[in-house]
Structure 1
Amino acid sequence: MTLDQAPRILVVDDEPNLAELLTAALRYEGWATSTALTGQDAIRAAIEDAPDAVVLDVMLPDVDGLGVMRRIRAHHPGVPVLFLTARDAVEDRVAGLTAGGDDYVTKPFSLEELVARLRGLLRRAGAERPAEQSVLAVGDLLMDEDAHEVERAGEPIRLTATEFELLRFLMRNPRRVLSKAQILDRVWQYDFGGQENIVELYVSYLRRKIDKGREPMIHTVRGVGYLLKPAAEAGP
């Protein structure tokens, strides 16, 4: 799937860390994303970019989520809206659906649930298009997602299921620094109780298989996380 074919998702939340986590998860699904931290920014972004769907926090610092949805729908009447609401805010969920929201998830939520709900909205809206091919490529590193095969410079590399998922997340986000928390949430899909050393361990496994005897592709950004990029690119 090329970038111009990928569904465009606008993520609106005033918590920068959560917005970043959501955009990383959606990019992992192959979707194009943009982010807004305020209602006004969300309205401007939606008018300019015409997203295929909006993930919208009900509680924003300037314009509430319902007002944002009304303004966006005035320009793009059919765009699906998935609301993010507080766990105990029943009135927000009722108000959001009554006002025309398509679905909602409550905070805290699992990324898998949010992605599944959003995928359903895109399918019903006809915005999700099938992928044309399942091969990821970063430099001389290739991954066939359907066949679960990996090779670098034409040499096959055997990975465990967890190593494969970790590499897939890195390859779906090339040149992008991913934090240990993001990797834990996406690859392991449950809370390790802060045991982020599991990420370090599996990154070391991958390095032995991907980078050993070759110019490295997996890089550590101290205090931040990890990124993968073609070996020809100099610098971290």
Structure 2
Amino acid sequence: MLPESVLKYQHEIWQAIGETFVMVGISIAAAVLIGLPLGTLLYLCRRGQRYQNQVLTVVLGSLVNIIRSFPFLLLVVFLIPFTRMIVGTSIGTLASTVPLSVIAVAYYARLVEQALLDVPKGVVEAASSMGASTVQLVVKFLYVEARSGLVLGLTTATISFISYSTVMGIVGGGGVGDFAIRYGYQRFETEIMIFTIIIMIILVQMIQLTGSGLSRWLDRRS
């Protein structure tokens, strides 16, 4: 039986969960659609790879490192003008997805690069000896060999995105973390705090178990 204080705010709780899913879902999409190609490009431009380009490697790598080095709260504030330019406002759940997506792209790009670096060199050499184009090399060889690591990386990144989303109340982004602060901490309702923490733990555990299970399944198919 849920405590009366939790039942009192059940509408707000569901709304907060929905806001968290929106923020994390859009950041995951950005990570896959932009971070995956960016991480692949970082790999291909490294020394000894097909498109070896030291200048591009340094520029892209430095940009990724700078974004990842920013304390996330400061990054949110720093990107307010950019957020306003992209979505027309700097407040709300949609606005929150902009800084989340920026950090998601940089974060996952590095994980993708690392996963591709773990692919045995023999696989790349075999693909080149068969005359594989760059697209074929990436899609049919690198991604296939690295798929388990790519899934694990996305799982780790997703959990980090959930953690980042908890501070989006600073721009009115809402979400479970913002709900816990406003209704639990500021109103001294400990039961609300505990309940929202339990929700976050369950959500993270579900994502981790799903990601780990999928990664193991893909690894066995290699």
TM-score of Structure 1 vs Structure 2, range by shorter chain? under 0.3
Q: Tell me which protein shows more helix as a share of its residues.
A: 2
- TM-score norm. by structure 2 comes to 0.26
More strand by share: 1
Structure 1 length as normaliser, TM-score? 0.25
Whose radius of gyration is greater, 1 or 2?
2
Structure of higher RCO (CA pairs closer than 8 Å, 6+ residues apart): 2
